[in-house]
């Protein structure tokens, strides 16, 4: 599994390859765990090595954990984008930069308060 890859798409391909190679279902849980991204492995390690958790139960745990990770990453990106200070405004309010070209071809840049 690659960083940022959908678990469901990854698992669909994993299942296809397991069926093609006729991998024993008992071995699939361990194989699946080994192929997960590290963050997902951390969240699912207890189910991966619990003999009472079936492959189906482990896959369900992976799906829920992947969804949780995705939501956390989206939330973190949103918070970071909202908290970036405007370097050009020195905390004097919001400004937009406007770039214009004069008739003589000269480039000008202006800050406009929003």
- What residue spans define the domains of the chain? 7-83, 86-114
Q: Nearest 5°: phi and psi at 38?
A: -55, -40
pLDDT value at 111 more than 60: no
Residue 10 has pLDDT above 80, yes or no: yes
Residues near 73 by Cβ (< 8 Å), separated by ≥ 6? Answer: none
**Which segments within 49-104 are labelled E, that is strand?**
95-101
3 state DSSP class of 98: strand
Q: Is the whole-model pTM more than 0.75?
A: no
* d(C-alpha 40, C-alpha 5), whole Å: 12
Least trusted range by pLDDT, from 13-27, 66-80, 99-113? 99-113
Q: Output Rg (C-alpha) for the chain, integer angstroms.
A: 25
Are 36 and 1 a contacting pair, CB within 8 Å? yes
Task: Tell me the pLDDT tens digit for each residue of 31-88.
Answer: 999 999 999 999 999 999 999 999 999 999 999 999 999 888 776 666 677 766 554 4
Which of 22-59 are b and which e, b meaning 16 or more Cβ less than 10 Å from the residue's Cβ? eeeeeebbeebbeebbeebbebbeebbeeeebeeeebb
Residue 90, pLDDT > 60, answer no
Give me the pLDDT at residue 114, please: 47
């Amino acid at each position: 599994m690659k960083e940022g890859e959908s678990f469901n798409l990854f698992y669909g391909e994993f299942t296809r390859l397991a069926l093609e190679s006729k991998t024993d279902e008992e071995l699939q849980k361990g194989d699946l765990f080994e192929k997960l991204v590290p963050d997902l492995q951390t969240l699912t390690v207890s189910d991966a090595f619990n003999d009472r958790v079936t492959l189906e139960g482990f896959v369900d745990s992976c799906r829920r954990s992947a969804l949780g990770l995705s939501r956390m990453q989206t939330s973190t990106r949103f918070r970071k984008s909202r908290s970036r200070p405007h370097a050009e405004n020195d905390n004097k309010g919001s400004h937009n930069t406007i770039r214009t070209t004069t008739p003589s071809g000269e480039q000008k840049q202006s800050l406009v308060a929003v």
